[in-house]
Chains A and B, each alone.
Chain A
Amino acid sequence: DAGVIQSPRHEVTEMGQEVTLRCKPISGHDYLFWYRQTMMRGLELLIYFNNNVPIDDSGMPEDRFSAKMPNASFSTLKIQPSEPRDSAVYFCASREGQRGPQYFGPGTRLLVL
Protein backbone atom coordinates (compact mmCIF):
# COMPACT_ATOMS: atom_id res chain seq x y z
CA ASP A 1 0.00 0.00 0.00
CA ALA A 2 1.20 3.50 -0.75
CA GLY A 3 1.88 5.61 2.28
CA VAL A 4 1.30 9.33 2.61
CA ILE A 5 2.62 11.08 -0.47
CA GLN A 6 4.01 14.59 -0.40
CA SER A 7 5.29 16.84 -3.14
CA PRO A 8 7.61 18.43 -3.80
CA ARG A 9 10.27 16.76 -1.65
CA HIS A 10 12.48 19.82 -1.80
CA GLU A 11 11.64 23.43 -2.53
CA VAL A 12 13.97 26.38 -2.73
CA THR A 13 12.37 29.74 -3.30
CA GLU A 14 12.98 33.40 -2.80
CA MET A 15 11.39 35.54 -0.17
CA GLY A 16 8.04 36.88 -1.27
CA GLN A 17 7.20 33.99 -3.56
CA GLU A 18 4.18 31.77 -3.15
CA VAL A 19 4.83 28.19 -2.07
CA THR A 20 2.34 25.34 -2.39
CA LEU A 21 2.92 22.01 -0.68
CA ARG A 22 0.82 19.00 -1.58
CA CYS A 23 -0.26 15.89 0.25
CA LYS A 24 -2.12 12.72 -0.60
CA PRO A 25 -3.21 10.83 2.52
CA ILE A 26 -3.49 7.09 2.85
CA SER A 27 -6.71 5.91 1.25
CA GLY A 28 -9.49 5.50 3.79
CA HIS A 29 -7.93 7.74 6.41
CA ASP A 30 -10.32 10.42 7.62
CA TYR A 31 -7.86 12.64 9.46
CA LEU A 32 -5.13 14.71 7.83
CA PHE A 33 -2.50 16.75 9.65
CA TRP A 34 0.07 19.34 8.59
CA TYR A 35 3.18 19.78 10.75
CA ARG A 36 6.28 21.92 10.60
CA GLN A 37 9.60 20.85 12.11
CA THR A 38 12.64 22.97 12.88
CA MET A 39 15.60 22.44 15.16
CA MET A 40 14.56 25.36 17.33
CA ARG A 41 10.86 24.58 17.80
CA GLY A 42 10.65 20.87 17.13
CA LEU A 43 7.51 19.36 15.62
CA GLU A 44 4.57 21.80 15.53
CA LEU A 45 1.02 20.96 14.49
CA LEU A 46 -0.21 23.61 12.07
CA ILE A 47 -3.70 22.40 11.20
CA TYR A 48 -5.73 19.23 10.97
CA PHE A 49 -8.78 18.11 9.05
CA ASN A 50 -11.44 15.49 9.72
CA ASN A 51 -13.46 14.34 6.72
CA ASN A 52 -12.03 17.24 4.72
CA VAL A 53 -13.20 19.85 7.26
CA PRO A 54 -10.61 21.93 9.14
CA ILE A 55 -10.96 21.19 12.85
CA ASP A 56 -8.13 23.07 14.50
CA ASP A 57 -5.98 25.68 12.78
CA SER A 58 -4.67 27.31 15.93
CA GLY A 59 -1.14 26.29 15.02
CA MET A 60 -1.10 28.18 11.74
CA PRO A 61 1.53 30.88 12.29
CA GLU A 62 -0.21 33.77 10.58
CA ASP A 63 -2.42 34.77 7.69
CA ARG A 64 0.32 34.02 5.21
CA PHE A 65 -0.41 30.34 5.76
CA SER A 66 -3.52 28.65 4.43
CA ALA A 67 -4.55 25.02 3.99
CA LYS A 68 -7.29 23.35 2.02
CA MET A 69 -8.62 19.87 1.60
CA PRO A 70 -10.95 19.85 -1.41
CA ASN A 71 -11.46 16.08 -1.26
CA ALA A 72 -10.51 13.02 0.74
CA SER A 73 -7.40 12.33 -1.28
CA PHE A 74 -5.73 15.72 -1.55
CA SER A 75 -4.65 18.63 0.61
CA THR A 76 -2.52 21.72 0.07
CA LEU A 77 -0.61 24.01 2.38
CA LYS A 78 0.13 27.40 0.89
CA ILE A 79 2.46 30.12 2.07
CA GLN A 80 2.04 33.51 0.46
CA PRO A 81 4.27 35.47 0.66
CA SER A 82 7.04 33.24 1.93
CA GLU A 83 9.71 34.48 4.34
CA PRO A 84 13.12 33.05 5.33
CA ARG A 85 11.77 32.11 8.77
CA ASP A 86 9.36 29.71 7.05
CA SER A 87 12.31 27.49 6.16
CA ALA A 88 11.59 24.11 7.73
CA VAL A 89 10.52 20.57 6.97
CA TYR A 90 6.78 20.33 6.44
CA PHE A 91 5.18 16.97 7.14
CA CYS A 92 1.75 15.73 6.24
CA ALA A 93 0.27 12.83 8.19
CA SER A 94 -2.96 10.89 8.07
CA ARG A 95 -4.89 8.74 10.47
CA GLU A 96 -7.90 6.45 10.51
CA GLY A 97 -10.30 7.23 13.31
CA GLN A 98 -9.65 8.94 16.63
CA ARG A 99 -7.68 6.23 18.36
CA GLY A 100 -5.16 4.93 15.88
CA PRO A 101 -1.63 6.11 15.10
CA GLN A 102 -0.72 8.69 12.51
CA TYR A 103 1.38 7.91 9.47
CA PHE A 104 3.70 10.58 8.15
CA GLY A 105 4.74 11.41 4.65
CA PRO A 106 8.42 11.90 3.81
CA GLY A 107 8.16 15.67 4.21
CA THR A 108 8.91 18.70 2.08
CA ARG A 109 12.16 20.51 2.85
CA LEU A 110 11.52 24.18 2.25
CA LEU A 111 14.26 26.76 2.02
CA VAL A 112 13.28 30.39 1.59
CA LEU A 113 16.18 32.62 0.60
Chain B
Amino acid sequence: RKEVEQDPGPFNVPEGATVAFNCTYSNSASQSFFWYRQDCRKEPKLLMSVYSSGNEDGRFTAQLNRASQYISLLIRDSKLSDSATYLCVVNGGSSNTGKLIFGQGTTLQVKP
Protein backbone atom coordinates (compact mmCIF):
# COMPACT_ATOMS: atom_id res chain seq x y z
CA ARG B 1 0.00 0.00 0.00
CA LYS B 2 1.34 3.44 -0.88
CA GLU B 3 1.97 5.79 2.02
CA VAL B 4 -0.16 8.51 0.41
CA GLU B 5 -2.78 7.64 -2.17
CA GLN B 6 -4.72 9.90 -4.48
CA ASP B 7 -7.00 9.34 -7.43
CA PRO B 8 -4.88 10.58 -10.35
CA GLY B 9 -7.94 11.69 -12.32
CA PRO B 10 -8.13 13.61 -14.52
CA PHE B 11 -11.10 15.50 -13.19
CA ASN B 12 -12.69 17.47 -16.02
CA VAL B 13 -15.15 20.06 -14.75
CA PRO B 14 -16.84 23.16 -16.17
CA GLU B 15 -16.09 26.62 -14.87
CA GLY B 16 -18.05 27.39 -11.75
CA ALA B 17 -18.32 23.78 -10.64
CA THR B 18 -17.44 22.48 -7.21
CA VAL B 19 -14.89 19.70 -7.15
CA ALA B 20 -13.52 17.61 -4.30
CA PHE B 21 -10.37 15.55 -4.02
CA ASN B 22 -9.65 12.95 -1.38
CA CYS B 23 -6.38 11.50 -0.23
CA THR B 24 -5.62 8.66 2.19
CA TYR B 25 -2.46 8.13 4.19
CA SER B 26 -1.14 5.03 5.91
CA ASN B 27 0.92 6.32 8.83
CA SER B 28 -1.33 7.06 11.78
CA ALA B 29 1.54 8.92 13.47
CA SER B 30 1.63 11.60 10.77
CA GLN B 31 1.23 15.06 12.22
CA SER B 32 1.43 17.58 9.40
CA PHE B 33 -0.69 17.71 6.27
CA PHE B 34 -0.62 19.93 3.22
CA TRP B 35 -2.04 20.44 -0.24
CA TYR B 36 0.34 21.57 -2.95
CA ARG B 37 -0.43 22.68 -6.46
CA GLN B 38 1.83 21.98 -9.42
CA ASP B 39 1.40 23.62 -12.80
CA CYS B 40 2.85 22.03 -15.92
CA ARG B 41 6.65 22.38 -16.04
CA LYS B 42 6.73 24.27 -12.74
CA GLU B 43 7.67 23.47 -9.18
CA PRO B 44 5.10 22.32 -6.60
CA LYS B 45 3.78 25.26 -4.59
CA LEU B 46 2.11 25.22 -1.22
CA LEU B 47 -1.63 25.71 -1.57
CA MET B 48 -2.60 25.32 2.05
CA SER B 49 -1.82 23.53 5.27
CA VAL B 50 -4.50 21.22 6.64
CA TYR B 51 -5.48 21.55 10.28
CA SER B 52 -7.44 19.17 12.46
CA SER B 53 -10.31 21.60 12.73
CA GLY B 54 -10.47 22.11 8.99
CA ASN B 55 -9.57 25.35 7.30
CA GLU B 56 -10.71 27.56 4.49
CA ASP B 57 -8.89 29.94 2.20
CA GLY B 58 -11.22 31.71 -0.16
CA ARG B 59 -12.71 29.12 -2.51
CA PHE B 60 -10.58 26.34 -1.06
CA THR B 61 -11.50 24.22 1.96
CA ALA B 62 -9.33 21.49 3.45
CA GLN B 63 -10.48 18.85 5.90
CA LEU B 64 -8.62 16.24 7.92
CA ASN B 65 -10.16 13.04 9.26
CA ARG B 66 -7.61 11.40 11.54
CA ALA B 67 -9.81 8.44 12.43
CA SER B 68 -10.18 7.42 8.81
CA GLN B 69 -6.78 8.78 7.81
CA TYR B 70 -7.92 10.88 4.92
CA ILE B 71 -7.60 14.46 3.79
CA SER B 72 -9.86 16.32 1.43
CA LEU B 73 -9.70 19.45 -0.67
CA LEU B 74 -12.82 21.21 -1.89
CA ILE B 75 -12.69 23.84 -4.61
CA ARG B 76 -15.80 25.96 -5.07
CA ASP B 77 -16.63 28.09 -8.11
CA SER B 78 -13.72 26.63 -10.04
CA LYS B 79 -11.80 28.89 -12.43
CA LEU B 80 -9.87 28.07 -15.57
CA SER B 81 -6.74 29.04 -13.64
CA ASP B 82 -7.39 26.22 -11.14
CA SER B 83 -6.33 23.71 -13.80
CA ALA B 84 -3.28 22.00 -12.33
CA THR B 85 -2.15 18.90 -10.48
CA TYR B 86 -2.97 18.86 -6.77
CA LEU B 87 -0.59 16.98 -4.51
CA CYS B 88 -1.57 15.62 -1.12
CA VAL B 89 1.40 15.76 1.26
CA VAL B 90 1.85 14.14 4.65
CA ASN B 91 4.60 14.33 7.24
CA GLY B 92 6.44 11.04 7.58
CA GLY B 93 5.33 10.47 11.14
CA SER B 94 7.19 10.10 14.41
CA SER B 95 9.65 7.55 13.04
CA ASN B 96 10.56 9.63 10.03
CA THR B 97 10.66 13.22 11.14
CA GLY B 98 11.48 15.89 8.65
CA LYS B 99 10.42 13.92 5.62
CA LEU B 100 7.27 14.76 3.69
CA ILE B 101 5.53 12.07 1.67
CA PHE B 102 3.93 13.24 -1.58
CA GLY B 103 0.98 11.61 -3.27
CA GLN B 104 1.11 11.08 -7.00
CA GLY B 105 -1.23 14.00 -7.58
CA THR B 106 -4.72 14.55 -8.91
CA THR B 107 -5.07 16.37 -12.21
CA LEU B 108 -7.82 18.95 -12.55
CA GLN B 109 -8.87 20.42 -15.87
CA VAL B 110 -11.40 23.24 -15.70
CA LYS B 111 -13.09 23.90 -19.03
CA PRO B 112 -14.94 27.00 -20.24
Chain A residues engaging chain B, CB cutoff 8 angstroms: 31, 33, 42-43, 45, 48, 50, 55-56, 91, 95, 98-107
Chain B interface main SS type: loop
Assess the B99–A56 pair: CB atoms within 8 A: yes
Assess the A42–B99 pair: CB atoms within 8 A: no
Interface flag for B34 (CB, 8 Å):
yes
Q: What class of interface size applies to chain B in its complex with A?
A: 20 to 34
- Interface hub of B43, B45, B100 (most chain A Cβ within 10 A): B43
The residues of A that contact B100 with a CB separation of less than 8 Å are 33, 95, 101-102
Least CB distance, A8 to chain B, in whole angstroms? 15
Least CB distance, A17 to chain B, in whole angstroms? 24
Alpha-carbon distance between A45 and B44 when the two chains are bound, in angstroms: 13
Alpha-carbon distance between A50 and B92 when the two chains are bound, in angstroms: 15
Interface flag for B55 (CB, 8 Å):
no
Contact of B44 among A48, A50, A99, A104 (CB under 8 A): A104
Alpha-carbon distance between A102 and B90 when the two chains are bound, in angstroms: 11
Residues of B66-112 whose CB lies within 8 A of A = 87, 89, 91, 96-100, 102, 104-105
A-B contact count (CB 8 A): 46
The residues of B that contact A48 with a CB separation of less than 8 Å are 98-99
Least CB distance, B94 to chain A, in whole angstroms? 10
Assess the A104–B43 pair: CB atoms within 8 A: yes
Alpha-carbon distance between A107 and B41 when the two chains are bound, in angstroms: 9
Closest partner residue, chain A, to B35 (CB atom): A101
Assess the A99–B32 pair: CB atoms within 8 A: yes
